[in-house]
Structure 1
């Protein structure tokens, strides 16, 4: 059974254009100290089970592989946020019908990208999967500074990275990939 996303919107909600990110660093730091972020991340994969991961440049996942996504903007649906993130991070114009809701996680990160970095932050992270066509899979490259590079991984590659203890996989990554039946 496919999970259902219930979008509840009051009649007088006014959609508005929201800048890419409109908070000064100190305001963002205060927000991280006091609010739980809503994030949507997407796991691009192929029909044969390969998973695309990006090598992260920023905290909290610096120098590790992770999936693609980020904060939701005011007025977005989960799908809107996922489509925007894939376009921003991979130049992918995703087919909305292939985005599948997977799991939601309450994540408490130990570090963050704004000072004080060691204070961490908390997110409600909704994970979605996206099955790429062969053409899409061949064309995906990093489109912003979030990831230094991207790489397709087979299940065997991922198991080897996990078993080696290389530190390239954040401990949460095998959990979300197993829950998505991709590891």
Structure 2
């Protein structure tokens, strides 16, 4: 077994999901707040988001070309905010299915890293106020059948594309404005850059 695989296995984080006995799960709509309410919320709380790095065993990474702030007209991975009552893997599976039509096997999702990110812009007005999120990054290695099945499934991304580590490094070193500066950090920490 290569040293890197052993290291990854030994350092695999554990998610501790603690649920009070009296917690009552409930259905929460995709977007349960009006745009002004959501903007006020973003001014006053830190969001919990889960994003997923979709990749192949050969190191190809799937990226979407985003339509929305804070990543409009840039490549990014797939994800979104947690809903009350969800586990991190619930959120990951829901958002990947929403954005790519891919039904992930939750036991194959691996927690990679957690980031405290302060974004300069946001979708809800006023856009220039930005917002802060605790972003959990998970990794999901696609099977050959899953690679063939992914497609843009909602309006989050204009289009999607598989990228090799070499292509990603070339985009990064060319100072392309299509690659957000956080993305190479996340992919490098995930061992996919």
TM-score (norm 2): 0.94
Correspondent of 1:135 among 134, 142, 145: 145
Shift of 1:24: 0.3
How many matched pairs? 183
How far, CA to CA, are the matches of 1:134 and 1:39 in structure 2?
28
- 2:108 aligns with one of 91, 98, 101: 98
SS across alignment from 1:94: coil
Instruction: Show the counterpart of 1:30.
Output: 40
Q: Which runs of 4+ in 1 moved over 4 A?
A: none
User: Are 2:190 and 1:180 equivalent residues in the alignment?
Assistant: yes
1:81: how far off?
0.2
1:150 to 131, 143, 160: 160
Alignment RMSD (CA, Å): 0.5
TM-score (norm 1): 0.99
Superposed displacement of residue 96, structure 1: 1.1
Matched, 1:74 2:51: no
Q: In 2, Cα distance between the equivalents of 1:138 and 1:163?
A: 29
**Per-residue CA shift, 1:133-179, capped at 9, x if unaligned?**
01111111110000000000000000000011111110000000000
User: Which 5+ residue runs of structure 2 have no aligned equivalent?
Assistant: 1-9
Superposed CA offset, 1:50-104 (max 9, x none): 0000000000000000000000000000000000011100000001121000000
Unpaired segments ≥5 residues, structure 1 = none
Pair 1:39-2:49 in alignment: yes
Give the match's secondary structure for 2:148.
Answer: helix
In structure 2, the partner of 1:18 is 28
